[in-house]
Amino acid sequence: MLNCRLFHHFLTSKHYEVRKVLKKEGLLSNIGVQVVIAMAIGTAVGAMMGPAAAMFAPLGHIFINLIKMLVVPLVAVAIISGAAGLGNSQSAGKIGLSTLGFFALTSAAAVALAIAMGNLFKPGEGVDLTDVQGMFGTVTAEQGALPTFWETIVGMIPGNVFEALTSANILQILVYCLFFGLALSKIEKTRRDPIINGINGMVDAMVWMINQVMKIAPIGVFGLMAEAVGTFGFQALEIIANLVWVYILAIAIFGFLFYPAIVKLLGNMSPRKFLTAMKKPQAVALSTASSMSTLPVTMDTCEKELGISKTTSSFVLPLGATINMSGNAIYYGLVAVFFAQMFQIELGMSAYIAIILTSTLGAVGQAGVPGPSFLVVAVLLAAGIPIEGLPLLFALDRIFDMIRTALNITGDAACAVIVENIVAKDELAAAEKQNA
């Protein structure tokens, strides 16, 4: 009781006038700032109240259940909408196929790197579940024998799509919705457009629902952090620190080694020139945490400093800002391995395939969704990994988002350079030959 009174005095004291400064500058309207503040307050409450802070746990559980409620229908309608749009890109010919192939392969490579880094540095190991299991919920089901490679491939095809939806079988949902979206793009335009418009309307409705849920994210994070710190001390935050530095290392390897290397090999461009030109769009991406907001700067840089034609940049970069999520893919893969290690779940070949496929295919449905935290739920569910520990990541989500967005737009530019060198020049040469 004394601790509660002290905390109340802290909140109402004149030293808390910093609230007014933040409000005047509009910072409190930013969900990222709100979540960080909620994390700090939850940590302080947990430290002062001790185990009694568990009284705030239901706030976090409500938030988790709302996420579970939205993730499956959101992924379904977003994938159908994205696949229907991609199906219409065939008119772009070789440029379109090369662009989509590049995004798919680099996203898969990003997930593979994340899995390798997770298994190399093991950020989730060394956690005594007897001390922290109550925080993340109980792993109730035995994993049993994992299916083989071919069992996984066969299992991706739903025998009953409605059963897949009700059981949250994310891989089966992805396969069906991709197939359905592509089918929509092939039917007659007058019959197709009303359906696609209706699905896009559903996507907008789902995004609105997510925005409402995210308004209570600070409350949920407060409740979970108060319970976590009150019950387990600061051990939980130490666990996340291990994940952060491994994540930053993986992003650096992909952004400063992998992309410059393939730009040199496939794009015939100096890595130094490429990285130097990308400084400005990367800075904008870090500040906005949005590929779409950075798009004008990325296009200007590619055309003026990297010598990309307007035809190539106007096709590749907007498409990349929508579906190229290599930074997100690293995040999904690393978080999956992190929680698997934390819960001492042994991942077999089928689980790794599920993580790679869900992360790669899920990028198609990422467009328009505020933040990637909902799709990472799908990745965890696909691999059979508990999601109860996920709210810990929300406190640092803004930091994760800024870093991965910078990598995403770097990948967009790398693709434009390569497509310009390999495909666009060939098509221009063929056109000139035909005109001659």
pLDDT by position in tens, the chain (length 436) = 444 444 344 344 444 444 444 444 455 566 667 777 887 898 889 888 888 888 988 988 888 788 778 777 877 787 787 677 656 644 445 777 788 889 889 988 999 999 999 999 999 887 655 555 555 544 333 333 344 567 767 877 888 888 888 877 777 887 888 788 888 888 888 888 899 889 888 878 877 887 787 788 788 878 877 877 787 666 656 667 888 899 999 999 999 999 999 999 999 999 999 999 999 889 878 866 778 778 888 988 999 999 998 778 877 887 787 778 899 889 989 999 998 888 888 888 888 888 888 777 665 545 434 444 556 777 887 788 877 777 667 656 767 888 898 999 999 999 999 988 887 566 556 555 665 5
What pLDDT, on the 0 to 100 scale, is given for residue 253?
A: 97
Q: Report the C-alpha gap between 196 and 251 in whole angstroms.
A: 35
Q: Which residues, in sequence order, are CB contacts of 220 under 8 Å at separation 6+?
A: 59, 60, 62, 63, 64, 391, 394
Q: pLDDT value at position 431?
A: 56
Residue 114 CB partners (closer than 8 Å, separation 6+):
250, 329, 330, 331, 332, 333, 334, 337
CA atoms within 13 A on the CB side of 123: 27
Give the CA distances from residue 85 to residues 156, 357, 392, in Å, rounded to whole numbers and listed in that order.
23, 20, 35
Report d(CA 291, CA 286) in Å as an integer.
10
Which residue type, as a one-letter code, is found at position 339? F
Q: Max Cα separation, the chain? A: 89
User: By the 8 A CB rule, do 246 and 366 touch?
Assistant: no
Q: Is the pTM of this model over 0.85?
A: no
- Rounded to the nearest angstrom, the gap between the alpha carbon of residue 318 and the centroid of all alpha carbons in its chain is 18
- Comparing CA positions, the residue from 208, 189, 205, 209 lying closest to residue 84 is 189
Contact yes or no for 383/336 (Cβ under 8 A): yes
Dihedral of CA atoms 165, 193, 369, 253 in degrees, nearest 10, equals 100
Q: Confirm if 75 and 236 have CB atoms less than 8 A apart.
A: no
Classify domain 30-435 at the CATH class level.
mainly alpha
Q: What's the pLDDT at 24?
A: 44
Which contacts qualify for 307-315: CB closer than 8 Å, 24 or more apart?
307/420, 308/416, 308/417, 308/420, 309/420, 309/424, 311/424, 312/95, 312/416, 312/419, 312/420, 312/424, 313/416, 315/92, 315/95, 315/96, 315/99
- Give the residue extent of every domain in the chain: 30-435
3-class SS of residue 298: helix
